[in-house]
Amino acid sequence: MQKVTLSFFLLFSFFALLNCNQKPYAHGKIMYENFCVNCHMEDGSGLIGNIPPLAGADYLTKHADQLACVIRYGLEGEITVNGKKYSAPMAGVPQLTDVEIANIINYINHEWGNDNGYTTITQVKNQLKNCQ
């Protein structure tokens, strides 16, 4: 009986680990689809000339320490993404929790060929304390 139980446990663990690695930022994707996709598009390409892309965007690495503030409070003024200037204001999403913001950042940082590292909840909290 112990061998059957152990075998079942090992098999279950194997499949659970397999599924966990397939979509590591699934919650961030859901949040992105609910709050960001209308402007930044499903593929992260943005709206040509108006809304900057997130796919392959140098802004994500150059301003990694400000992304939580941008998501929560929005952004006004001109920014440069991949050498192109954008000035359309971005509305913030103040109702998002720190965890949800971290999930969105991590999804964006690892989607569409981006490889911008992992952002912790502690980093998000620190960024939000320093928003200007």
Q: What is the mean pLDDT of residues 106-128?
A: 95
CA dist 50 and 84 (Å) reads 10
Task: With both helix axes pointing from N to C terminus, report the angle between 26-35 and 98-110 in degrees, rounded to the nearest 10.
Answer: 100
Q: How far apart are CA 56 and CA 81, in angstroms?
A: 9
Place of tokens 């502690």: 122
> How confident is the model at residue 74, as a pLDDT?
96
Region 58-72: what's the mean pLDDT?
Answer: 96
Cα of first residue to Cα of last residue in the chain, in angstroms, is 62
Distance between CA atoms of residues 121 and 118, nearest Å:
10
Q: Averaged over 100-113, what is the pLDDT?
A: 97
Averaged pLDDT of the chain: 88
Return the pLDDT at 11: 54
Q: Looking at the domain covering 25-129, what would its CATH class be?
A: mainly alpha
Residue with tokens 């659970």: 16
Residue closest to 70 by CA, chosen among 48, 99, 47, 101: 101
Using pLDDT thresholds of 50, 70 and 90, give the confidence band for residue 48.
confident
pLDDT band at 45 (very low <50, low <70, confident <90, very high): very high
